[in-house]
Amino acid sequence: MKAKRQLDSIDLKELKLLVCVGPGGVGKTTMSAAFAVQAAALGRAVDVMTVDPAPRLLDALGLGADSAEPVEVSLENLRHSRGSKSHRARLRALRLDPKRTFDSIIGRYAPSDAARDVILENRIYRNLSNALAGVADYMAMEKLLELASNPATDMIVLDTPPAAEAIDFLDAPRRLLELLNSRAISLLGAPKGILRSRLRVVDIAARAVLAAFDRVTGLNLLSDVQAFVASFDGMYEGFAARASSAQEKLRATDTAIVIVTTAEASRIAQAREFIEALDRANLRVAALVVNRVMAEMPDAAEITAAAISAPLKKKLKRNLSDYSALKTREESSLSALRESVPKGAVLIVAPDLGREPLTVADLAEVGRSLRPR
């Protein structure tokens, strides 16, 4: 029983939110799905939101390319844990669609249908919602709050967008508000009656350039920007409140933040940067998961004793030597990472299955293979 307690920091029977963070290419999305499947196997009602999953993972979860709303995942062939309330077990999956989520937020906060339509049709908004850096981070948090409002859901697993910094997804609400409230945007949307004495020469020049550009191109850029900013009047409070709620959710005691990495030296260095960034934000790291860890190497004596030809034995021993060198390097990286594990967190390894997960059963196998290190 004591060995089981080592994983209490990510106890899938008690958590309400599990957030996987990390760089792209380490299997973070697969690990998020594996945690979700494992929690469902324990009898919980789980929603997992993934970001840009690989096509095969989409197939495994039964998701289409446009699955922006939760889709039920079949658990028919999933082995449930002994004693779990399997009658409640449920797994739903969706992939984040930042544009569609942003549109739904506009619909929620707009004071009227007419105001909503003005914003959605504004070309500045259309470009902003599709291309602004950080929109995907912010929308991941917005979708999280939407899913969390469902009382029928026991737990949410959030696969955050790949980020250069661990807290990009957390800082996105503040950055978006800062943009919408920036001096430059406020200036462009300022009422016509504003006193020119309050404008600096450079501000007047900037507006003059935009106005001249409009006259030459006929694009009406200045008026579009002004209309866009004016249409958001009165909606900032809603965005700010949701940003605050998202921050509280991430800091709750029933939330676990998990950093996913691999054992390469460069990835270990990135994991350390994530740890430091989360610590600066006062966010508790529950676990570090090292994905695709190599299996233990067999004893060379087994090859010697095998009833096979001498040339094959020689080739196998050479391969074993090469893999053993890689395993030694991997162990060195794991030792270095262990020294960086925050107090109260656990280091977990996920063995390399040697194949991509193609089914829910494969994801369940990944979840069952997790072990503390």
> If we measure between CA atoms, which residue out of 116, 273, 102 comes closest to residue 176?
102
Q: Per residue in 341-360, pLDDT tens?
A: 998 899 999 999 888 888 89
Please tell me the predicted confidence (pLDDT) of residue 153. Answer: 95
Write the secondary structure of the chain as one string of H (helix), E (strand) and C (coil).
CHHHHCCHHHCCCCCCEEEEECCCCCCHHHHHHHHHHHHHHCCCEEEEEECCCCHHHHHHHCCCCCCCCCEECCCCCCCCCCCCCCCCCEEEEEECCHHHHHHHHHHHHCCCHHHHHHHHHCHHHHHHHHHCCCHHHHHHHHHHHHHHCCCCCCEEEEECCCCCCCCHHHHHHHHHHHHHCCHHHHHHCCCCCCCHHHCCHHHHHHHHHHHHHHHHHCCCHHHHHHHHHHHCCCCHHHHHHHHHHHHHHHCCCCEEEEEEEECCHHHHHHHHHHHHHHHHCCCCEEEEEEEEECCCCCCHHHHHHCCCCHHHHHHHHHHHHHHHHHHHHHHHHHHHHHCCCCCCCEEEEEECCCCCCCCHHHHHHHHHHCEEC
Query: For the domain 2-105+134-166+251-299+334-372, what is the CATH superfamily, name and number?
Result: P-loop containing nucleotide triphosphate hydrolases (3.40.50.300)
- Complete edge-to-edge strand list for the sheet that includes strand 155-159: 71-72, 90-95, 45-50, 155-159, 17-21, 255-262, 285-293, 346-351, 371-372
Please tell me the predicted confidence (pLDDT) of residue 190. Answer: 47
How many residues in total does the chain contain?
Answer: 373
Check pLDDT > 60 for residue 113.
yes
Spatial CB neighbours of 261, under 8 Å, sequence gap ≥ 6: 22, 23, 26, 267, 268, 270, 271, 288, 289, 290, 291, 337
Contact 14, 346 (CB under 8 A): no
Check pLDDT > 80 for residue 215.
no
Domain ranges of the chain: 2-105+134-166+251-299+334-372
Q: Per residue in 321-330, pLDDT tens?
A: 888 888 888 8
> If we measure between CA atoms, which residue out of 23, 303, 325 comes closest to residue 162?
23
More confident residue, 246 or 228: 246
Task: For residue 162, give Cα distances in angstroms to 27, 42, 117, 118, 174.
Answer: 11, 28, 32, 32, 18
Q: Per residue in 272-317, pLDDT tens?
A: 888 988 888 888 899 999 999 988 888 888 888 888 999 898 999 9
Task: Provide the residue type at 282 as one letter.
Answer: N
Q: From CA 171, how far away is CA 281, in angstroms rounded?
A: 9
User: Using CA of residue 80, residue 85, residue 155, residue 70, what is the dihedral sign?
Assistant: positive
More confident residue, 95 or 34: 34
Q: From CA 21, how far away is CA 27, in angstroms rounded?
A: 11
The pTM (predicted TM-score) of the whole model is 0.77
Please tell me the predicted confidence (pLDDT) of residue 358. Answer: 84
pLDDT tier for residue 257 given thresholds of 50, 70 and 90? very high
Check pLDDT > 80 for residue 185.
no
More confident residue, 151 or 7: 151
Please tell me the predicted confidence (pLDDT) of residue 111. Answer: 85
Longest Cα–Cα distance in the chain: 93
